[in-house]
Chains A and B, each alone.
Chain A
Amino acid sequence: MTGNPSLATDAQPRTLTARSITRRRAAIVSLVLLVVILVLTVVGVSNGSFSIEPSRILATLFGQGERAEEFVLFRLRLPASVLGILVGAAFGVAGALFQTLLRNPLASPDIIGISGGASVAAAFGILILGVSGAMVSLLAFVGAVIVALAIYSLSYRGGITGMRFVLIGVGFAFMAQSVLGYLLSRGDVREASQALTWMVGGLGGADWQGIAVLAIALAVLLPLVAVLAPQLSMMQLGDDVAASLGVSVHRTRQGVLAVAVAMTAVAVAFAGPIAFVAFVSAPIARRLVGGGALALVPSALVGATVVLTADLLGTYLIPGASVPAGVITAIIGAPYLLWLIAASSRQSRAA
């Protein structure tokens, strides 16, 4: 884990050239992903029980559309797509930050109970307090932050090790599960169903107000990520090396964790804990880019792609029934997790 200094210097000249190649590849990957996201968005907003010709979308966007077109586009479909892009990006970046920082591919907010904390708080709001809308979002945000703080302080023992953080998080995830079970068994079955739908996560509840709040939050958080990213990628070489290069390891770690938690919390607040997006996005992005790069921008774009795809699949997979995106991502993500565990024989030596 602690990087061997001689190895690091050996690798220096090679990584320099490798880095410029990686950077170019990251740019190309990002461009392709952007196109994919655009196509997914167009498909998403044009199809449905009332279809809008792709050629009419632009016209409608610029105020040339008919009333029906405007209503369907601005009220129903565009919010879902925009929300999907924003939460997908947030989950993707948050997952990449967690995984890099804790040096563990399993460190993702849905596995370590942070999403579980949000769900408990939201279910409590819906089922016990009887609130809805923005209040549920606020509660979910608070729940996520509280659980994250709890995991951090409990796993802190003169430093944070990835596995301890993950396993304590798993403990919280199970605790959250049983509290959710209890909350669901209370009260009206329709309310329980509503809470359950929230807990799956999806783009069904998209509205412009939520999107605005989410966008503002990301506008604050993403620049912070950009500031922290160079230190973080130096920390990939090992804490000692990073410290010798002038990185304040401890402070960087706290800063990155705080930003990652905040991103997860806002995304969960507005779309629910869409399972496994944070978990799969960064590994996919890193594989696309190659070269062991941090790949934050591609991670964000992969996250958006995953959420939009899951939403589309959910809309059309079962005719007549709209399946929330979270169900689809879970069905795709969980087998990947199993594969990762089974295949990680090299890593499990440390385990």
Chain B
Amino acid sequence: MAVNAIRSAKAGAPQSAERRSREQHTSASAARRTRRIVGLAASGVLLVIAVWLSLAIGNRAIPFGDVVQALIAPNADDHVHMIVRDLRVPRTLIGLAAGAALAVAGAIMQGITRNPLADPGLLGVNAGASVFVVIAIAAFGVTAPLGFVWFAFAGAAVAAVVVYAVGSFGRYGATPVKLALAGTAVTAIATSFVTLMLISDSETLNAYRFWQVGSLAGRGLDTFALLWPFVAAGLVLALLLGRTLNLLAFGEELARGLGDNPLLSRTAAAVAVVVLCGSATALAGPIVFIGLVIPHAVRAITGPDYRWILIFSLVLGPVLLLVADVIGRVVLGTGELEAGLVVAAVGAPVMIAVVRRLKVGAL
């Protein structure tokens, strides 16, 4: 930047239009760079605050010192320490993992499909997981959350594949609208299948209805311990895809011309999405809209560069989920509102705003 300034000073008054526009461009990108770094720092601070709130706020507000003490030097007899360690720490960890996974998965889906409405929930992934969970309960008698995990995982994967296959069938490939509708259709099929099982079997209904609200509560550390390696692997793979997604934004042919192997990159992206969605759903149940809202919000700070979008999503996804969970704990006074519901209450208006902004041509 400084070099540019000196150079333009030397060049004196008569500047070519070309150079002027280039300089505007560099100064704009410099401003964007500053905004990204400051934004990322601010997001990090938000994340720390969200984690803090998640540990401290709840049915009983716990002061700063006690939380720290419970984390560093827990006293097994102290009731407050037990709340923090046994209830809030697992909850926070699950929120961190699921939030990051959902937001990053949403960002990849939006990039790879060039679909502004892509979200694991909207694209039927939740519904697929739900079907398999119901089968687990009804046919195999699984009742513990830990037992649902592999079923949710498999179901999410199957649904993701089906939606993508149906949505990309036909001459024009996976257009935004087709994918959204394929997601809706898969959701409808899955929902009616689930309903059929539930109305004929009230025991299954009883076990299932608590899983399907999408919550961070009631899932223990063992679930987290089982799944965090998947989330971590998915996130690493996702972050490696940033450049590829940037290339794909130019369209498949141009991306190929610039040296990308679309088949390979699409496969890698699909693997990342399936692993992330599957583990998030297994961790927290079906949660819609995080994968939609976060990348959209993030884009306002980062611009269209997917390398930045992915990193920001990774940080801000957990913020949204944890804050939603905290809001759900306090908003009713007594009892709790599940995080999934709070997220939907925030996310649906965002989706509607996105749709309203789309040009008629894009529809």
Contacts and interface: CB of A to CB of B under 8 A. Distances in A.
Contacts of B191: 177, 330
A259 B98 CA distance: 44
B167 interface: yes
A164 interface: yes
Contacts, number: 163
B171 interface: yes
Given A163-B177, A174-B122, 17 more contacts: A167-B363, A177-B191, A178-B213, A178-B340, A181-B286, A185-B213, A192-B206, A196-B205, A330-B188, A330-B189, A333-B188, A334-B192, A338-B166, A338-B182, A341-B181, A342-B170, A344-B170
Interface string B189-200: 101110110111
Interface stretch (B18-26, B270-278, B349-357): B349-357
B69 to A, nearest CB: 35
Interface string A302-341: 0000000000000000000101101100110111011001
B356 A164 contact: yes
A171 B355 contact: yes
Contacts of A192: 205-206, 209
A334 B189 contact: yes
Contact of B185 (A161, A323, A341): A341
Given A173-B184, A334-B189, A351 B176 contact: yes
B177 A167 contact: yes
B352 A348 contact: no
Interface string A42-76: 00000000000000000000000000000000000
B348 interface: yes
A175 B355 contact: no
Interface of B: 117, 121-122, 166-167, 169-172, 175-178, 180-182, 184-189, 191-193, 195-196, 198-200, 202, 205-206, 209-210, 212-214, 286, 288-289, 337-338, 340-341, 344-345, 348, 351-352, 355-356, 358, 360, 363
A321 to B, nearest CB: 6
A154 interface: yes
Contacts of B193: 331
**Taking each of B166, B196, B205, which has the highest tally of chain A beta carbons within 10 Å of its own beta carbon?**
B196
A327 B172 contact: no
A330 B178 contact: no
Given A167-B177, A167-B363, A174-B121, A327 B195 contact: yes
A164 B209 contact: no
Given A170-B180, A348-B178, A351-B176, A275 B340 contact: no
**Taking each of A333, A334, A335, which has the highest tally of chain B beta carbons within 10 Å of its own beta carbon?**
A334
5 closest A-B pairs by CB: A345-B170, A330-B192, A163-B363, A351-B177, A334-B189
Nearest to A156: B356
Chain A's interface size range is 35 or more
Given A275-B188, A349-B172, A341 B352 contact: no
B170 A182 contact: no
Nearest to A112: B184
A196 B198 contact: yes
A167 B172 contact: no
A345 B186 CA distance: 19
Nearest to B189: A334
A172 interface: yes
A351 B176 CA distance: 7
Given A182-B341, A338-B186, A351-B175, A171 B352 contact: yes
A168 interface: yes
Interface in A190-219: 190, 192-193, 196-197, 199-200
A167 B355 contact: yes
Contact of A344 (B178, B184, B212, B344): B178
A129 B289 CA distance: 29
Contacts of B196: 323, 327, 331
B329 to A, nearest CB: 15
Contact of B348 (A110, A163, A175, A182): A175
A262 interface: no
20 contacts: A111-B188, A154-B352, A174-B122, A178-B214, A178-B341, A182-B213, A184-B209, A184-B212, A185-B213, A192-B206, A196-B199, A326-B192, A327-B195, A330-B195, A335-B189, A343-B170, A345-B169, A345-B170, A345-B172, A351-B175
